[in-house]
Amino acid sequence: MAELILTKNFGVPDSHKLEVYLRHGGYEGLKKTLEEFTPDQVIEEVKKSNLRGLGGAGFPTGTKWSFVPKESAKPKYLVVNADEGEPGTFKDRYLLEKEPHMLIEGAAIASYAVGIHKAYVYIRGEYVKQARILQGAIEEAYAHGFLGKNILGKGFDLDLVVHRGAGAYICGEETGLLESLEGKKGWPRLKPPFPALVGLFKSPTVMNNVETLCQLPHIMKRGAAWFAGLCEGAPKAGGTRIFSVSGHVNKPGIYELPLTVTLREIIYTHAGGIRGGKKLKAVIPGGSSAPVLTAEEIDVKMDFDSLMAAKTMGGSGGVIAMDQNTCMVKALYVLAKFYAHESCGQCTPCREGTGWIAKILGRLVHGDGRPGDTETLKAVADNIAGNTICPFGDGAAWPVQSFVRKFRSEFDYHAKERKCDVPRNGN
């Protein structure tokens, strides 16, 4: 069994409390950072660790930080993206609930590296309990000198504020989130300018995902070489990530594993294989936006580059397994309804296209398909991808393109015969 880093103490009673966190080595990474590293050295260390953004994009974290200007007339901000919303993903919920101090410590390290003194945690509105736990941890951290003025007596100041979202998937997108945090509807912004230069309140801003920040205390405590070494054989990957596994597996749940694990190992070794001894049919490997893989394609490693080479993506690490009795038309319809509901409406190809896709899939599912529907689906998706301000459009198009490409005969059957040919389509 691989070493657990983030989830090691999830089973410890009251793991969210400061006293328990300290007993397990908590805030030692921050202490070491403030005592032994200059901000630039922290950025270098994080670059060397190969840590990449675990929210979905997989962008190298240290490189992202280095885009923020050293000197700025305006205050710089850290925004913690805790707006977990990608279907199939639930790891940040666990981290917020079980290890809020790890997040606070990581946020403090990131802020020190970039010269930030004010940070906001944007947490999805439905996570009421998690927001309360985090707020409690922040108050403890202030009371014990891990937040506020002169942290650990080292002359570094940081304020951290919890900000609740209000139910909109688009606000997980970086610039949609910034708009929302500024009290507006979450319409993504055109880039450039990038948030590193013009972000929150028009100021230089770093945005990192919860899980990404939680890795920092460990990297600083144990070193970049150790972290990068956890992904042997993958030169641009480091550390572990928490895979959220759901769907037709025997043991749905979170599994923290090095990124070099294969999808087959996740499903069969860790998540107990497919329920009822059935065969696997398809898997979404990185949250709902990631192109689907067939059962024959699961020997791929789960690091960002290997998944990209397999024409899909690591995304948020949400693995959704579908068994042999799953109707792929119906599965895609469920996702299409989601994207149609969550499209923010700003860009025409996405606003109109996601609606059309959902309607066409709806009639295919309900026995009302028409010849040519498969082609139309593909054409609409092709006209969304690459034609929108934010990556939501791509995320909505990729499932359609990949489902149709890999399971074409099912779509054609629905269109022609106006029924489903998947045996015992009980779902």
Site size for another protein (CB under 8 A)? 52
Rounded to a whole number of angstroms, the minimum distance from the CB of residue 306 to another protein is 24
Candidate residues 41, 69, 154, 166; the one interacting with another protein per rule CB under 8 A: 166
Contact 322, 350 (CB under 8 A): no
CA 4/CA 213 separation, integer angstroms: 16
- Is 67 a binder of another protein (CB under 8 A)? no
Sheet holding 118-123, edge to edge: 148-151, 156-164, 118-123, 77-82, 205-209
Sequence-separated (6 or more) residues with CB below 8 Å from residue 72: 115, 203, 204
Rounded to a whole number of angstroms, the minimum distance from the CB of residue 416 to another protein is 24
Candidate residues 254, 360, 365, 390; the one interacting with another protein per rule CB under 8 A: 254
Candidate residues 7, 205, 215, 288; the one interacting with another protein per rule CB under 8 A: 288
Geometric angle at alpha carbon 207, from 178 and 59, rounded to 5°: 125
- Is 366 a binder of another protein (CB under 8 A)? no
- Is 334 a binder of another protein (CB under 8 A)? yes
Residue 199 CA, chain-centre distance (Å), reads 20
Closer Cβ to another protein, 21 or 169, answer by number: 169
Candidate residues 21, 27, 65, 90; the one interacting with another protein per rule CB under 8 A: 90
Binding mask 290-319 for another protein (x = CB under 8 A): ----------------------------x-
Rounded to a whole number of angstroms, the minimum distance from the CB of residue 221 to another protein is 29
| 8-state DSSP, 218 | H
Helix 373-384 vs helix 348-365: angle between axes, to the nearest 10 degrees?
A: 160
Candidate residues 69, 72, 149, 161; the one interacting with another protein per rule CB under 8 A: 161
CB under 8 A: which stretch of 7-15, 86-94, 346-354, 387-395 binds another protein? Answer: 86-94
Sequence-separated (6 or more) residues with CB below 8 Å from residue 51: 60, 61, 62, 212, 215, 216, 219, 227, 238, 239
- Is 395 a binder of another protein (CB under 8 A)? no
- Is 201 a binder of another protein (CB under 8 A)? yes
Contact 100, 68 (CB under 8 A): no
| 8-state DSSP, 268 | I
- Is 185 a binder of another protein (CB under 8 A)? yes
Contact 305, 269 (CB under 8 A): no
Question: Could you list the residues that contact another protein (CB under 8 A)?
Answer: 84-90, 92-93, 124-126, 128-129, 161, 163-169, 180-186, 201, 244-248, 252-254, 284, 288, 318, 320, 322, 326, 330-331, 334-335, 338, 341-342, 427
